[in-house]
Structure 1
Amino acid sequence: MISIVVRILVNAVALFAATLVPGIELTSSSTGGKVGTLLAVAVIFGIINAVLKPIIKVVGCGFYILTLGLISFVVNALLFLLVGWLAGELELEFVVDDFWAGFWGAIIAALVSFALSVVIPDKYDNR
């Protein structure tokens, strides 16, 4: 159970770092609202990555091979856009404006998530 909480917190920090990209906004006015929004969006982000990403990789295996894996940048950007859209539909104050914001946001979120996963001891992250 604690590993799930750690993953959500890591995703929340990574999503907060992604808000540095122009076009990705966390529009809540209060600090508590921002933290709550980030945690809720982190859960959405984790569910989408756990469910849709493997399906997309299997279905698009040929594209991954053909493009030497570069299609993964496009897939990640589109999944990040999907997270922003779902957050809007759920009336969460997390906005991803366009493809390029999603593209750079996904890269930053992945890098921050990776860096935090390296720092966190394995006893808290049982992947």
Structure 2
Amino acid sequence: MTSILIKFIANAAALAVAVWLLDDITLGDDGASTGSQAATLAVVALIFGLVNVIVKPILTFFALPLLFLTLGLFALVINALMLMLTSWIAGDAFHVDGFLTAVLGGLIVGIVSWGVSAALDRD
């Protein structure tokens, strides 16, 4: 149970950092209150987590030849696609503008979520 909570917090923090660093990734309305943006971020982190649990393993399985061929660098493309799928599902609440932005966002989300998970998961 705590593992799921840690992953949720890590995803939310990573998405917040990606929104903060990249202008082409937006979260809700610009004029929204902090509480509204936090609630939107929580919903988007939940959607992102579900996409990563359900869709990402299937896509990774079918992309195994490309992952081997590129020595794992194709994982950046897979992460970008997961971010774009989250953007599509979330609608106006979360928007990623362009594939290159999604690649950079996926890289940021991957690094930050790894760091937050490593910091919080101290067994």
Same fold (TM over 0.5): yes
Q: Greater share of helix residues, 1 or 2? A: 2
Instruction: Name the structure 1 match of 2:116.
Output: 116
SS of 1:77's partner is helix
Q: Is the 8 Å Cα contact of residues 14 and 108 (structure 2) preserved in structure 1?
A: yes
1:56-71 matched pairs, under 5 angstroms = 56-71=59-74
For residues 45 and 52 of structure 1, the distance between their equivalents in structure 2, rounded to whole angstroms, comes to: 10
Structure 1 portions without partners, runs of 5+: none
Cα shift at 1:122: 3.2
Residues 97 and 61 (structure 1), Cα distance of their counterparts in 2 relative to 1, 3 Å cut? same
Identity over aligned residues, as a percent? 39
Q: 1:81 aligns with which of 84, 96, 106?
A: 84
Deviates more, 1:21-30 or 1:40-49: 21-30
Letter in 1 for 2:15: L
TM-score, normalised via structure 1 length: 0.87
Alignment of 1:3-82 (within 5 A): 3-19=3-19, 20-28=21-29, 29-82=32-85
**Paired residues, what number?**
120
- Partners in 1 of 2:72 and 2:105 — Cα distance? 18
Moved over 6 A (4+): none
Give the superposed CA RMSD: 1.4
